[in-house]
Amino acid sequence: MTPPRPPLRLLAAALLAMAAPGGARPPDPPARTCVPAPRSALVVDVRSPRIGARGDGLADDTLALQRAVDAVAGSGGTVSVPKGVYLVNALVSLRLKSDMTLALAPGAVLKAIPNGSAHSSILRVAQVERVAITGGVLQGERAGHTGRGGEWGHGLTLSQARSVVVAGVTVRDCWGDGFYVSGSEDVTFCGVVADHNRRQGMSITSGKRVVVRDSVFRNTAGTLPEDGLDIEPNPGDLVEDVLITGCRFEGNAGYGLEIGVPQAHTGRAWISRVVVERCASTDNGARTLSPSPRAGIAVSNCAGVRITDTRVSGNGLGILLRNGADRSTLRGNSITGNAGDGIVQYLCKGNVISGNTVTGNGGRGIHSPDSDETGISRNTLSGNGPGR
């Protein structure tokens, strides 16, 4: 087995040493020790008279919240958001600045005002650096959305940002994605939850050195792809050095976790060095809008993905490697009780599938149509459907 290149492991050591250790099923309440301490003692309370946020669930607090952000920007200080419901115009967005922390107390909710737009975001972190966001809830407006088209109403959008930590934040009920990451570097998600968003729990379309740790992605449904977490670059984009560790993907209508370059973007988009470890992907794909079955984890049209020590159970398929998901490694995983095949590799070569426990799946334990089987060894298979 070829280990990942040094940049990913160095990144993991630097970022994860600050966080409490996690397992395949971390508790929903996050450990926030992954958040760097503010560089300044300055704290601006959004409910203070000079800022004027109401937090009563009735008043539009967008401008007041932005005043607080602008007062702290560049100082290394903190915007403090006490318990309450703060309405945000997601067409305008609360736009964070460099060198600041946005700290939401338990019970603090930033709630999107219903709109009919295809594009919106409650929080935007764009072209800035050294930002931390902690705690609270970002509440989307999918229940009150007044339009029918589009799928880009997000909770948190990171674009061209650097050195960002998001910890303990729950994003739910968004018209599009809970979390959306593009063109950003050195980003850590720690103990976040994405629940009942319409398109994706999280999308990563481009970026470098992204860590997603001890987080939960569940109940995504409403418009394709309907994934818990989707790593999918657009034409001209590159995603590289991603570590997904200790995460759970549960009850999503699409894939629990999808990693792939669309066939139409072959040679124009790239994914490099993705590691998935100590995760759990369960009960995904049951209500998909797709005509094809969905898997707990799917990898396509990109090479070198490593999936280790992960539990994949109760999905449409277990782990799916397809269309050039070459030189990937599946080792030490438990793939049990899926409706279809446990492990499928289709049109792949050079994969190492070793030391996995593949039991009680409705289809074949390991199925390799039009693929190289030389790397399949020392797996435990029992109680599966017909075939290997």
Assess whether pLDDT exceeds 90 at residue 3. Answer: no
Q: How far is CA 56 from the centre of its chain?
A: 30
Amino acid at the residue 385: G
Q: What is the pLDDT of residue 388?
A: 58
**Is residue 271's pLDDT more than 60?**
yes
What pLDDT, in 10s, does the model give residues 124-165? 999 999 999 999 999 999 999 999 989 999 999 999 999 999
What are the two backbone dihedrals, phi and then psi, of residue 321, each rounded to the nearest 5 degrees? -115, 125
What was the pLDDT predicted at 386?
Answer: 81
Q: Is the pLDDT of residue 89 over 50?
A: yes
The whole-number pLDDT of residue 19 equals 34
Place 168 in a pLDDT band, splitting at 50, 70 and 90.
Answer: very high
CA dihedral 152, 153, 157, 160 (to 10 degrees): 40
What domains lie within the chain, and their CATH numbers? 9-20+43-382 (2.160.20.10)
In angstroms, rounded to a whole number, what is the distance separating the alpha carbons of residues 163 and 157? 14
Instruction: Tell me how far apart the alpha carbons of residues 363 and 123 are, in angstroms, rounded to a whole number.
Output: 43
pLDDT digits (tens, 9 = 90+) for 48-81: 999 999 999 999 999 999 999 999 999 999 999 9
- Check residue 20 and give its pLDDT: 33
**Cα 4 from Cα 210, distance rounded (Å):** 14
For residue 16, report the phi and psi dihedrals to the nearest 5 degrees.
-85, -15
Write the pLDDT tens digit of every residue in 314-348.
999 999 999 999 999 999 999 999 999 999 999 99
The model's pLDDT over 223-242, given as tens digits with 9 standing for 90+, comes to 999 999 999 999 999 999 99
Q: Is the pLDDT of residue 214 over 90?
A: yes
Q: What is the mean pLDDT of residues 201-226?
A: 98
DSSP notation for 276-319: EES-EEES-STT-SSSS--EEEEEES----EEES-EEESSSEEE
Query: Quick one: what percent of the chain has pLDDT higher than 90?
Result: 87
Token duo for residue 16: 């994860």
User: Whose CA is closest to 215, among 255, 250, 177, 258?
Assistant: 250
| Tokens linked to 51 | 């800022």
